[in-house]
Structure 1
Amino acid sequence: MATPALLDHDELLAAWCRVTPNTEFVERYRYELDELGEAVLNPSPSARRQIVLTDVYCHLTEYMGHGAAMSVAISTRSFGIRVPDVVWMPCDKWESFDRDGPVPFVPDLCVEVLLDSDRAQDIDRRIASYLEGGASEVIVVNHFGRVEFWGARGRQPTSTFGITLPLDRMYFEERDVPTILSVRC
């Protein structure tokens, strides 16, 4: 059986337009496309997850300045069109493309919050695809509120950007068990 071919950027964008043409703007970003152009519907985030996403966004804008956004579709080379929870990039990069469609590249910083989402099952691929696509750093906030920083050389003890995320513990599960995240870059 032949291995299906990955879609290039233009083919992914055409598939994105077919999936989301009549979708309300807010609902559009519940959809992602895998690397073959197949639609993936993500559940709406709970209020708890939305609060944490907003908190992360606010911390990033306070620390890094203008250039952060929530739930923005981005094109990756190896994992289709994905919607990280929060992204950041310098303002000049935001001005370099048509902002009505997916970002045609991976922003400098991508954040994934794993509260009540199915993303934990593919987080390794997300991290790898963001880093392969040009992100300098990926931040993962797990179910217990533990913040992990990932760069080109794997997991890092601190943020490349010097970011700390003092998140309120009340939104996370009580006990923490080590997560198994093994990105091989």
Structure 2
Amino acid sequence: MASAVLVSVQEYLRTTYRPDVDYIDGELKERNVGEQPHALIQGILYGMFRDQRKKWHVRPLPEQRVQITSSRYRIPDICVLRADDPKDDIITFAPLLCIEVLSADDRLREVQNRVEDYASIGVRDVWVVDPWKRIGYHASARGFEQPADGVLRVANTAIAVSLEELFREYDES
């Protein structure tokens, strides 16, 4: 097994990676991206949040670095902030919502690790969307739960996204 090359947090923060990578305790971790189903779902979700930003009082950001600890940074596919949250270069507080869109090569354990990292900084709502199985989950440190009515929501807000509508738009794209 090859050993990982360690990178300082300072080097990570001043380097541009294409696509961007997670930084986990000195290691650069590639994210599975680049497939059309992933890109389409990510774009549609971003568009929904962008279109509703004033009504929902949010600011959606695609692929935004989020600091978990001083040695851990994650990049959710979509990070949704409250409209009045700071506009810092890197998010150092709990976003309102983190959304992960699965790629064909994603593994449950790694996705669960991402969800647990978000929960550790106080993110209460994490969505995981699977374009291949056409399902979505509300995820937490306890696991993944499909919404009984097919609608992903953010607690105590007006935010609601119908999975049926999401995948209908996907089919029309």
Asked if TM exceeds 0.5, the reply is: yes
- Give the alignment partner of residue 15 of structure 1, picking from 8, 24, 35: 8
Q: Deviations over 1:6-48 (max 9, x none)?
A: xxxxxxxx93431353536xx2x521111x2211123542233
Q: Secondary structure at the match of 2:128?
A: strand
- Would the alpha carbon gap of residues 38 and 58 (structure 1) be closer, same or farther in structure 2, given more than 3 Å must change? same
| In the alignment, structure 1 residue 89 sits paired with structure 2 residue 81 | yes
Percent sequence identity over matched residues?
A: 22
TM-score, L = length of structure 2: 0.71
Cα distance in 2 for partners of 1:46, 1:148 equals 20
Cα distance in 1 for partners of 2:81, 2:107 equals 22
- Would the alpha carbon gap of residues 127 and 42 (structure 1) be closer, same or farther in structure 2, given more than 3 Å must change? closer
TM-score, L = length of structure 1: 0.67
Matches within 5 A, 1:113-152: 113-118=101-106, 120-142=108-130, 143-150=132-139
| In the alignment, structure 1 residue 112 sits paired with structure 2 residue 112 | no
Q: Secondary structure at the match of 1:115?
A: coil
| In the alignment, structure 1 residue 164 sits paired with structure 2 residue 161 | yes
| In the alignment, structure 1 residue 30 sits paired with structure 2 residue 20 | yes
- Would the alpha carbon gap of residues 121 and 104 (structure 1) be closer, same or farther in structure 2, given more than 3 Å must change? same
**Structure 2 spans left out of the alignment, 5+ residues:** 1-6
Contact 1:136–1:152, Cα closer than 8 Å, also in 2 = no
The answer to which structure has the higher strand fraction is 2
Q: Secondary structure at the match of 2:166?
A: coil
Aligned to 1:10: none
Contact 1:77–1:129, Cα closer than 8 Å, also in 2 = no
Cα distance in 2 for partners of 1:33, 1:91 equals 27
How many residue pairs match? The answer is 151
**Structure 1 vs Structure 2 CA RMSD:** 3.0
- Would the alpha carbon gap of residues 41 and 68 (structure 1) be closer, same or farther in structure 2, given more than 3 Å must change? same
Q: Deviations over 1:58-85 (max 9, x none)?
A: 1223343440010001011498101000
| In the alignment, structure 1 residue 69 sits paired with structure 2 residue 61 | yes
- Would the alpha carbon gap of residues 169 and 114 (structure 1) be closer, same or farther in structure 2, given more than 3 Å must change? farther
